[in-house]
């Protein structure tokens, strides 16, 4: 894992799900091969391509040209960029546009964008005609290492993030790392939070590698493909063993219980991007674990230091603008998908790379912890 990566052919990672296996293809310049890869899977399929206006300005023409070159008829569906598009209203519009394009069960939906587009387009594909296959073409680091893999799709409720959705696996993921070159630095950093999260939950050696090599990952060196592939291999293994998140897959939510609550508290806005919320939530999960004497304060500080050095938020005060108090945050945490019969569940750690699921966490303990964090 720690061997120096070298440039070369695309890296292919398989997600093993019996008759629903699919490949994650990782490398630079892959958008040009999109049509050929889809043609090999579905020779006569038509496609509805869902994207947002920001991504369209950079990458829609290239994707359309790749599809056209292999004779794939494609209808583009554009939505507004940002978390606000993971809504009932936009979901309705996308579904109706797919139907208007006469996309049938034997056709495809293509999600060209970041996590918002992947979740939205994937959920629409899961629902229209009771299920259409779809292809993920993630254009952000966060989507390439996390949200495009594993089949979680959905939209947000005013009461919380990702509360409406379905498990619907893609048939192909094409992760063109050259597309990341157009990302604003803030968005790349937000995606890097998910890379760090994966290391922290189950791969201590990878975390050490990131501490030494993160600048190369940011610069676009071959280390970028290596880091993405490590995350995808790890997630593919977990998804293959626990597709529906009944056990081990819950570990991938490290940082998300605190993070989703903070993201909702910030209004799903540009004040706090999803990856930034994950970084902050991960720092809090390590701090909470240290408070429970599960890890040393030095380990929690090491994690916080790495997140901070790349420019990610690690304290609640780092979120711009006013944030709600403890009771509102507790209310939002109570809407977390891992809550069972009203009992709180957190992903905590017994060390770097040693995450575990902790059920029945005392709300009073969480409330006191948050009060202390808000005061810092």
* Helix/strand/coil percent split, the chain, to 5: 55, 20, 30
Tokens encoding 133: 């296959």
In sequence order, the 6+-apart residues with CB closer than 8 A to the CB of 340 are 359
If you ran DSSP here, which 8-state letter would residue 319 be given?
S
pLDDT score, position 5: 46
For residue 151, give Cα distances in angstroms to 126, 127, 269: 10, 13, 24
CA 360/CA 218 separation, integer angstroms: 39
CA 151/CA 134 separation, integer angstroms: 10
CA 226/CA 224 separation, integer angstroms: 5
Could you check whether 11-182 and 185-375 share the same CATH topology?
no
From 260, 304, 306, 337, active-site residue: 260
pLDDT score, position 2: 46
> Which of 116, 148, 135 lies closest to 66 in space, CA to CA?
135
Tokens encoding 341: 């019969």
From 274, 304, 306, 337, active-site residue: 274
pLDDT score, position 326: 96
For residue 324, give Cα distances in angstroms to 101, 248, 281, 319: 44, 32, 16, 11
156 is catalytic: no
From 59, 224, 235, 304, active-site residue: 235
Q: What is the pLDDT along the chain (376 residues), one digit of tens a residue?
A: 445 445 568 999 999 998 899 999 999 999 999 999 999 999 999 999 999 999 999 999 999 999 999 999 999 999 999 999 999 999 999 999 999 999 999 999 999 999 999 999 999 999 999 999 999 999 999 999 999 999 999 999 988 889 999 999 999 999 999 999 999 999 999 999 999 999 999 999 999 999 999 999 999 889 999 999 999 999 999 999 999 988 899 999 999 999 999 999 999 889 999 999 999 999 999 999 999 999 999 999 999 999 999 999 999 999 999 999 999 999 999 887 677 777 899 999 999 999 999 999 999 999 999 999 999 8
Other CB atoms closer than 10 Å to residue 232's CB: what's the count? Answer: 27
Contact criterion met (CB below 8 Å) for 161 and 208: no
168 is catalytic: no
**What angle in degrees, to the nearest 10, is found between the helix axes of 297-309 and 204-219?**
10
From 225, 243, 245, 299, active-site residue: 245
Domain spanning 185-375, CATH architecture = Up-down Bundle (1.20)
pLDDT score, position 356: 97
Domain ranges of the chain: 11-182, 185-375
> Phi and psi (nearest 5°) for 367?
-60, -45
From 194, 243, 276, 299, active-site residue: 194
Contact criterion met (CB below 8 Å) for 149 and 124: no
CATH fold of the domain at 11-182: Rossmann fold (3.40.50)
pLDDT score, position 161: 85
245 is catalytic: yes
331 is catalytic: no
> Which of 302, 314, 299, 301 lies closest to 350 in space, CA to CA?
299
Q: Parallel, antiparallel, or unpaired for β 152-157 and 160-167? A: antiparallel
From 86, 152, 161, 304, active-site residue: 152
194 is catalytic: yes
CA 91/CA 80 separation, integer angstroms: 12
Scanning the chain, the segments in alpha helix (DSSP H) are: 34-41, 53-55, 61-68, 88-100, 115-127, 141-142, 185-202, 204-219, 222-241, 256-265, 274-291, 297-309, 326-333, 363-375
pLDDT score, position 252: 95
């Amino acid at each position: 894992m720690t061997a120096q990566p070298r440039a070369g052919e695309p890296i292919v990672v398989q997600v093993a799900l019996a008759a629903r296996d699919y490949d994650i293809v990782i490398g630079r310049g892959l958008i040009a091969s999109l049509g050929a890869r889809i043609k090999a899977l579905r020779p006569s399929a038509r496609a509805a391509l869902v994207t947002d206006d920001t991504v369209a300005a950079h990458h829609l023409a290239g994707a359309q040209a790749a599809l056209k070159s292999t004779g794939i008829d494609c209808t583009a569906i554009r939505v507004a960029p940002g978390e606000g598009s993971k809504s009932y209203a936009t979901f309705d519009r996308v579904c109706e546009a797919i139907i208007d394009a006469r996309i049938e069960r034997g056709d495809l939906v293509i999600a060209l964008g970041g996590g918002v587009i992947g979740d939205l387009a994937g959920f629409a594909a899961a629902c229209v005609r009771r299920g259409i296959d779809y292809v993920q073409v993630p254009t952000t680091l966060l989507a390439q290492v996390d949200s495009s893999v594993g089949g979680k799709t959905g939209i947000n409720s005013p009461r919380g993030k990702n509360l409406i959705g379905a498990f619907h696996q893609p048939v192909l993921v094409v992760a063109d790392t050259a597309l990341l070159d157009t990302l604003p630095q803030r968005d790349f950093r937000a995606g890097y939070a998910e890379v760090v999260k994966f290391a922290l939950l189950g791969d201590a050696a990878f975390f050490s590698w990131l501490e030494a090599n993160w600048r190369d990952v940011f610069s676009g060196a071959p280390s970028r493909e290596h880091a993405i592939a490590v995350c995808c291999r790890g997630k593919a293994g977990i998804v293959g063993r626990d597709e529906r998140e009944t056990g081990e897959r819950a570990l991938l939510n490290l940082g998300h219980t605190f993070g989703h609550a903070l993201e909702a508290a910030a209004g799903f806005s540009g004040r706090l991007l999803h990856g930034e919320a994950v970084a902050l939530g991960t720092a809090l999960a390590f701090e909470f674990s240290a408070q429970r004497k599960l890890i040393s304060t030095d380990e929690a500080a090491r994690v916080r230091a790495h997140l901070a050095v790349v420019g990610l938020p690690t304290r609640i005060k780092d979120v711009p603008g006013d944030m709600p108090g403890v009771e509102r945050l507790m209310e939002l945490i109570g809407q977390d998908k891992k809550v069972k019969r009203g009992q709180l569940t957190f992903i905590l750690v017994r060390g770097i790379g040693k995450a575990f699921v902790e059920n029945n966490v005392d709300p009073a303990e969480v409330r006191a912890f948050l009060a202390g964090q808000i005061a810092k």
